[in-house]
Each structure stands twice: as C-alpha cells, then as structure tokens.
C-alpha cells in the first residue's frame, strides 16, 4: 500500500517530461501580427449625415376668394421679387372699393359743412365730432377695400424658382388656398449636429465637404454659416448650418430634400507617432499597446503591455501622444484578451508563422490587412 501511495505521489509531485513542457509552451504561445509605430500626418474629421434644405422656400397662399383669371407662372420658371404670378377675379372687390370711395366723398362733404356750422355756433361740439368720426371710418373703409384689391394679385415674395403649382387658370380658390411654391436655390444649406466636445474646433467660415449619397456625382465644398448658441441637453450636440455655394445648387447640383454626407475637418497634425486603430486596446477607459521587445535568437518572445495616451484619429490610424517611439515593434492584431508578459509567436496577416527577420518583412503586409484578428486566431488553432 505504501508503494502505491509513493507511486501516486510520484505522479502528482514530479513535473511533466521535457517533451510535455515543450508541447504545453507551444500551445500557450499566442499568434499575433506584428507592426511598428509609424510617423506621419493625420487629420481629424467629423462625418455627419444631413438633408439638403432651402432656407428660402415658401408656399404662396391666396389672400382673397375668387376665380383664377391669370396664371403666368409654371414649374421651373425663374421669377423676381415682386413679380406678378397670378391674378384672382376682383369684380366684387372693385364694386366694394367704388362704394367706399362714394361714401368717403359724402363723409368729406359732411365734415366740411359741420366744421363751418360749428365755427358759426350753429351746431355743438358733439355733432362736429360725429362728422369727423364718420370721415375717419370712411377713410379706413377705403383702405380696407384697396387692400382687398391688392390681395387679388399674387406676387413673388423673393427671387427664386417656381417649384410647384397647385391650381390651374380658371380654378376657384378660397382665402388661404395653396397656389404656388417658390424656392431660392441660392439659399441651400445642410444642417448637422456636432458633439459638444468638438465645438471649440469649429469656426464660422470653416470649409466643409459635402458629398451626395443617393444622387452620385454631386460633391463640393461649403462653409460653416452658423453655429447654434445652445447645446441640446438630450443629445449633447450643437446644430451647425453649412451653406452651399451657388455653383453646387439647383439642377445638376444639390436640390432640397437630397441626402448628403458632410465632412468637417476639426484638426490636422504632422510628423507625429501613429499606429493602426486595431493596435490599441482599452481597459477601464485606459489605452494600451502591446510592445514586442527585442530578444536574442532562441529566447522566448513575450508581449509587454504599455499604457499610452492617444490623440487624434481617423478611419484607420490613431495618434500616440505618450507611448512607444516611432519604429518600435507592436502587435496590431491578435492581442484581444492578451495578458502582459504573455508568450507570443509572430504570424503574418494570413496566420503563417514568421521567423527571424521575416517579422520585419511582414510589416507592410500586416498593415495592409489591418483587421487581421481572425487570421491570427486561425493561426492559433
């Protein structure tokens, strides 16, 4: 029985064979894709979707009731401010104005007679005041009837283009009915909502690239025309209005209602350390890189986790404000879940092992295949 205990103790107490250790270490080595800290330029941008709008775009309504007797404008016509666009029949309004003028003439005559009689002491102050009040009311009535005549004319409120016609000549319209829509294509804007943390990076007059999404081939540069003076507390964003230049507006360019993408450049930096975005890992709001140290041939290769401070970033790269210097070897893929001082083996973007100087040769290939985490995992298997 003691021999059996000793045998069992030997199995538990003694370490595994060297072959077993080698196999275990080989299995535990994590395949990773190497890269380097580069040096270059980076531009930080804000990209936001927007719908093109015309700031001067109105629907003109009838301000009188009657039949359309003249409609001189069609969709697509360019018109100037104050130009006559349509006319509503005004027979009733003309008759009303004629009656008002007749009443005004009588009120003026009565007022003159009352004034003479009042000076001669024939009538009292009350009768004189009544004649003056009647004259004032007659003048107001003439003004009202004149305005009704003017309201039968439909004129352009500003210079623009007729975009929609709601009625035809001969149609009967009531007060408030839609007649025409007019748009000033020189007033096109794109409104975007920018995070408040980027507010200090924006200035009036700043350039903004505008790219049509659904309507291809439409692209140009606008300018920041207005920045809202308040922050939307529910979204933490600020409304920014981008004005489109006239050459980007109208047929062949952007039209109201089009879907577009706006790109605002907030900051540019040159000659700074850069790494692929895939190289940076985050742990409790802290940023880290895994550095590949230089080792002698035959020594174990272990990754070193280094805390870094990051800065600007674009779609593919991120600035290293405080961290490894340019030229330092880092892991750009396969480091997900990797621990500090973990045993690693270098592979290329396709998961093929690298040896010696081959790791440096794999740099361009690794960078080209930026999101090669899957390949690294395949290599691990």
pLDDT given for residue 356 in this prediction? 56
Range of the domain at 349: 26-42+270-380
Q: Which two tokens stand for residue 274?
A: 């850069």
Q: Which of 294, 271, 290 is nearest to 279 (CA)?
A: 290
Domain shared by 361 and 313, yes or no? yes
With tokens 């000033």, the residue in question is: 184
Domain shared by 196 and 299, yes or no? no
Tell me if 5 is assigned to some domain. Answer: no
Beta strands in 228-303 (DSSP E): 237-243, 259-276, 281-283, 286-291
Domain shared by 310 and 368, yes or no? yes
- We report the CATH number of the domain holding residue 243 as 2.40.30.170
Domain shared by 37 and 69, yes or no? no
Query: In the chain, how many domains are there?
Result: 4
- We report the CATH number of the domain holding residue 289 as 2.40.420.20
Residue 120 vs residue 5, higher pLDDT: 120
- We report the CATH number of the domain holding residue 135 as 1.10.287.470
Tell me if 20 is assigned to some domain. Answer: no
Average pLDDT, the chain: 83
Domain shared by 237 and 337, yes or no? no
Q: Which of 368, 328, 318 is nearest to 348 (CA)?
A: 368
Domain shared by 67 and 162, yes or no? yes
Please give, one letter per residue, the 3-state secondary structure of 104-150.
HHHHHHHHHHHHHHHHCCCCCHHHHHHHHHHHHHHHHHHHHHHHHHH
Confidence of residue 362 (pLDDT cuts 50, 70, 90): very low
DSSP 313-376: E-SSEEEEEESSPTT-EEEEES-TTPPTT-BEEEB-TTS-B--TTHHHHTHHHHHHT---HHHH
Domain shared by 300 and 235, yes or no? no
- Beta-bridged to residue 344, according to DSSP, are 30
pLDDT tens sequence across 171-229: 999 999 999 999 999 999 999 999 888 888 888 999 999 998 887 778 889 999 999 99
Phi, psi of 299 (to 5 degrees): -80, 160
Q: Are 188 and 112 in contact (CB under 8 A)?
A: no
Confidence of residue 312 (pLDDT cuts 50, 70, 90): confident
Average pLDDT over residues 256-282: 89
DSSP summary character for residue 160: E
pLDDT tens sequence across 159-168: 999 999 999 9
Tell me if 72 is assigned to some domain. Answer: yes
Tell me if 18 is assigned to some domain. Answer: no
Coil, helix or strand for 249? strand
Domain shared by 274 and 348, yes or no? yes
Confidence of residue 284 (pLDDT cuts 50, 70, 90): confident
Domain shared by 261 and 302, yes or no? no
Tell me if 249 is assigned to some domain. Answer: yes
Q: How would you label 175-210 residue by residue, b for 16+ Cβ within 10 Å and e otherwise?
A: eebebbbbbbbbbbbbbbbbeeebeeebeeebebbb
Residue 13: its H or E element: helix 2-13
Average pLDDT over residues 129-135: 93
- We report the CATH number of the domain holding residue 84 as 2.40.50.100
pLDDT given for residue 300 in this prediction? 82
Confidence of residue 147 (pLDDT cuts 50, 70, 90): very high
In terms of average pLDDT, the best of 106-115, 334-343, 366-375 is 106-115
In terms of average pLDDT, the best of 21-25, 306-310, 339-343, 358-362 is 306-310
Q: Which two tokens stand for residue 270?
A: 């040159």
Phi, psi of 171 (to 5 degrees): -75, 150
Confidence of residue 313 (pLDDT cuts 50, 70, 90): confident
Domain shared by 179 and 113, yes or no? no
Beta strands in 110-254 (DSSP E): 153-155, 160-165, 172-173, 178-183, 188-195, 207-212, 219-227, 237-243
Domain shared by 105 and 162, yes or no? no
Q: Are 378 and 46 in contact (CB under 8 A)?
A: no
Q: What is the pTM of this model?
A: 0.60
Using the Cα atoms of residue 69, residue 75, residue 80 and residue 81 in order, give the sign of their dihedral: positive
Tell me if 12 is assigned to some domain. Answer: no
Tell me if 346 is assigned to some domain. Answer: yes
Domain shared by 230 and 332, yes or no? no
Q: Which two tokens stand for residue 369?
A: 């295949």
- HSE-CB for 81 with a 13 A CA cutoff: 5
Tell me if 131 is assigned to some domain. Answer: yes
Residue 18: its H or E element: helix 18-28
CA distance linking residue 97 with residue 90, whole number of Å: 10
């Amino acid at each position: 029985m003691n021999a059996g205990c000793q045998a069992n103790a030997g199995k538990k107490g003694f370490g595994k064979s060297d072959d077993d250790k080698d196999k275990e270490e080989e299995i535990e080595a994590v395949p990773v894709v190497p890269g380097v800290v580069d040096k270059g330029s980076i531009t930080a941008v804000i990209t936001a979707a927007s719908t093109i709008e015309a700031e001067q775009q109105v629907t003109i309504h009838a301000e009188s009731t009657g039949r359309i007797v003249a409609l001189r404008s069609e969709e697509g016509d360019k018109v100037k401010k104050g130009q006559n666009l349509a006319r509503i029949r005004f027979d009733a309004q003309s008759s009303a104005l004629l009656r008002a003028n007749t009443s005004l003439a009588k009120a003026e005559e009565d007022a003159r007679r009352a004034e003479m009689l009042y000076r001669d002491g024939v009538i009292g102050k009350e009768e004189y005041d009544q004649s003056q009040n009647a004259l004032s009311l007659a003048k107001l009535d003439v003004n009202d009837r004149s305005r009704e005549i003017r309201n039968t004319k439909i004129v352009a409120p500003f210079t623009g283009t007729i975009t929609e016609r709601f009625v035809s000549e001969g149609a009967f319209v009531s007060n408030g009915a839609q007649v025409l829509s007019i748009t000033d294509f020189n007033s096109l804007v794109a409104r975007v909502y920018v995070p408040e943390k980027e507010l200090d990076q924006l200035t009036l007059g700043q350039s903004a690239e505008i790219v049509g999404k659904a309507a291809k081939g439409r692209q140009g540069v606008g300018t920041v025309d207005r920045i809202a003076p308040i922050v939307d507390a529910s979204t933490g964003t600020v409304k920014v209005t981008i004005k489109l230049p006239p050459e980007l507006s109208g047929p062949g360019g952007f039209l109201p209602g089009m879907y577009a993408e706006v790109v605002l450049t907030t900051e540019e930096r040159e000659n700074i350390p850069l790494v692929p975005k895939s190289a940076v890992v985050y742990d409790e709001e802290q940023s880290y890189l895994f550095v590949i140290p230089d080792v002698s041939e035959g020594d174990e290769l272990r990754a070193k986790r280094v805390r870094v401070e990051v800065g600007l970033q674009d779609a593919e790269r991120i600035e290293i404000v405080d961290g490894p210097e340019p030229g330092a070897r880092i892991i750009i893929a396969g480091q997900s879940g990797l621990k500090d001082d973990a045993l690693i083996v270098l592979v290329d973007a396709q998961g093929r092992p690298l040896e010696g100087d081959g790791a440096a040769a794999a740099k361009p290939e690794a960078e080209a295949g930026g999101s090669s985490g899957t390949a690294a995992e395949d290599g691990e298997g």
